[in-house]
C-alpha cells in the first residue's frame, strides 16, 4: 500500500490500512519512517478527539482481564475502542510473546475494537518506541477511547503518564496489607486507582486496601488542584464496577476541561514528545556516525580494561561526533 492508499484507507475505516500505518511507524528503516511521518502529517487534523487512558498495575493485577471487561462495556455504550498493548522485550533475544490479543479473546472479535500488541524494545516506562504515533493514528481512524496497557509498574512509569489524559493504576486486594505494595512514585502520577478482584472472599481485603490507599493519598501532594484521585473497587472477572470507572473518566474529562487543564496537559505532552523525538534522533545519529562507530570498539575495550574512565571515554566519543 502506498502512503496515499493508507491515508484513504484510514479515512474509509479500513483496519488493514491502520495496521499497515502502525507497522510503518514501528519500522526502523529510514524510508519507512519517512513515509510514516508523511502519513501522520496528513492525518493530524483528524486527531485529538479521543480519550487516552494509560493502565498499569503490579504483576497479576489483572490488567488484560480488566481491559477486556471495560472494553466490552464501552462497546455496549456505542464507543469504539483501541488497545495498544505493550509486551516486554527480552534483553537477551530481543523477542516478545505479544500475547495480549490472545488474553483478550472476546474483545479481539468485536468489529468496533482494535488490539495492537507491540514489543517495548529498549524503551523505558513500559511503552513501545512509537506508542504516541500509534495513538494518533487510532484517533484519526475514529476510535473514541484509546487504552495503553503497559508492561507493569516500574520507576519509569512516568513515560506512560506523559502521553495519556488519564493514568489508571490497578491494585490487588492484599496491596493494603503491606505498604510496600503502594509505590509512592506511581501513586503520585495516578489519576485514579482501582482495587481489582474485589469479589467473594477478597471483598473485605479489597475494602481494607481501598481505605489504606485513600489514607495514603491524603498525605500526598495532589497531582492537580482540580482533581481528587478516587479509589474504586472492581471485579474484572465478574464485570462489576465498569460503569463506575467510565463515570469517573467522564467526570475527570469534564472537570479538567472546564478549568482548561485538559488542553494544557495535551500541549505540554506535545512539547515533551518533540523533545523525546529529538533525543531519539540524536541517539540514532550518534550510533550510526561512521567515525564514532569506528572508534567505539577501541574505546569500549579501554573502559572495560580500566585504562580509560567512562567519563573520559564518553567525552572523546562526543567530541568525535561533534567534530565530524
Beta carbons of 225 and 254 less than 8 angstroms apart: no
Beta carbons of 262 and 165 less than 8 angstroms apart: yes
Mean pLDDT per 10-residue section of the chain, whose length is 324 residues:
93 93 87 91 92 88 92 96 73 41 80 83 50 92 93 61 90 62 69 93 91 87 89 95 97 96 93 86 89 93 94 94 86
- Residue-level pLDDT at 152: 59
Which residues, 6+ apart, have CB-to-CB distance to 69 below 8 Å?
Answer: 236, 237, 239, 242
Judged by DSSP in three states, 51 sits in strand
The reported pLDDT for the residue numbered 124 is 43
Three-state secondary structure call for residue 104 = coil
**Cα distance between residue 140 and residue 246, in whole Å:** 22
Pairwise CA distance, residues 108 & 91, whole Å = 28
Question: What number of other Cβ atoms are within 10 A of residue 39's Cβ?
Answer: 24
Which triple of cell numbers denotes residue 223? 497531582
Q: Cα–Cα distance between 195 and 61 in angstroms, integer?
A: 9
SS3 79: coil
pLDDT of residue 96: 37
Q: What residues contact residue 248 under an 8 Å CB cut-off, 6+ apart?
A: 192, 230, 232
**Would you state the pLDDT for residue 197?**
92
Amino acid at each position: 500500500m502506498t502512503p496515499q492508499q493508507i491515508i484513504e484507507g484510514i479515512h474509509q475505516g479500513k483496519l488493514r490500512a491502520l495496521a499497515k500505518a502502525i507497522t510503518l511507524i514501528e519500522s526502523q528503516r529510514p524510508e519507512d519512517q519517512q513515509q510514516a511521518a508523511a502519513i501522520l502529517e496528513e492525518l493530524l487534523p483528524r486527531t485529538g478527539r479521543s480519550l487516552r487512558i494509560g493502565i498499569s498495575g503490579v504483576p497479576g493485577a489483572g490488567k488484560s482481564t480488566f481491559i477486556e471487561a471495560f472494553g466490552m462495556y464501552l462497546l455496549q455504550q456505542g464507543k469504539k475502542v483501541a488497545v495498544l498493548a505493550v509486551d516486554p522485550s527480552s534483553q537477551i533475544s530481543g523477542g516478545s510473546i505479544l500475547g495480549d490479543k490472545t488474553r483478550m479473546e472476546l474483545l479481539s472479535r468485536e468489529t468496533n475494537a482494535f488490539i495492537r500488541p507491540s514489543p517495548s524494545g529498549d524503551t523505558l516506562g513500559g511503552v513501545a518506541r512509537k506508542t504516541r504515533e500509534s495513538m494518533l493514528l487510532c484517533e484519526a481512524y475514529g476510535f473514541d477511547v484509546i487504552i495503553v496497557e503497559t508492561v507493569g509498574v516500574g520507576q519509569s512509569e512516568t513515560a506512560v503518564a506523559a502521553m495519556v489524559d488519564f493514568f489508571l493504576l490497578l491494585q490487588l486486594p492484599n496491596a493494603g496489607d503491606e505498604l510496600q505494595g503502594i509505590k509512592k512514585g506511581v501513586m503520585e502520577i495516578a489519576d485514579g486507582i482501582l482495587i481489582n478482584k474485589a469479589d467473594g472472599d477478597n471483598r473485605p481485603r479489597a475494602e481494607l486496601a481501598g481505605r489504606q490507599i485513600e489514607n495514603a493519598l491524603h498525605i500526598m501532594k495532589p497531582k492537580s488542584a482540580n482533581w481528587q484521585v478516587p479509589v474504586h473497587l472492581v471485579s474484572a472477572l465478574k464485570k462489576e464496577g465498569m460503569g463506575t470507572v467510565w463515570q469517573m473518566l467522564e467526570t475527570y474529562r469534564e472537570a479538567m476541561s472546564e478549568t482548561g487543564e485538559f488542553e494544557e496537559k495535551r500541549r505540554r505532552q506535545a512539547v515533551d514528545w518533540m523533545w523525546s523525538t529529538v533525543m531519539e534522533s540524536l541517539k540514532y545519529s550518534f550510533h550510526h556516525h561512521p567515525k564514532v562507530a569506528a572508534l567505539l570498539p577501541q574505546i569500549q575495550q579501554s573502559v572495560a580494561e580500566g585504562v580509560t574512565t567512562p567519563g573520559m571515554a564518553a567525552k572523546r566519543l562526543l567530541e568525535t561526533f561533534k567534530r565530524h
